[in-house]
Amino acid sequence: MRWLAEVHVALRSGIADPEGQTIGSALRSLGYSTVTEVRSGKLMRIALEADDHVAAESAVSEMCRRLLANPVMETASWELRADEQPDADEALP
């Protein structure tokens, strides 16, 4: 069956994020003075076939470890759900 994973990749907390800092200062210059910090990252939506949740989870975990995030400077987290609508266009807007 088909699964959808939303993978979030972010810089580790100790690694400076100049992009996030720039976005943060842009927000403050627009008047959002309550913004104290912005961290930027990447979002990847991955559709995959797997027999069950455990298999899908295992595949996504391996993808993150091998390619999607560099553990030296990044962390990866993901949400996984069964794809109710197997139409690719609908599933991945």
DSSP-H helix ranges across the chain? 18-29, 53-63, 88-91
CA atoms within 13 Å, Cβ hemisphere of 32: 11
Question: Which residues face 6 on adjacent strands?
Answer: 45, 79
**29-68 footprint of other proteins as x/- string (CB under 8 A):** --------------------------------------xx
Question: Does residue 25 touch other proteins according to CB under 8 A?
Answer: no
Closest approach of Cβ 4 to other proteins, in Å?
A: 19
Q: Is 71 strand, coil or helix? A: coil
Name the site residues for other proteins (rule: CB under 8 A): 11, 14-16, 18-19, 22, 67-68, 70, 72-73
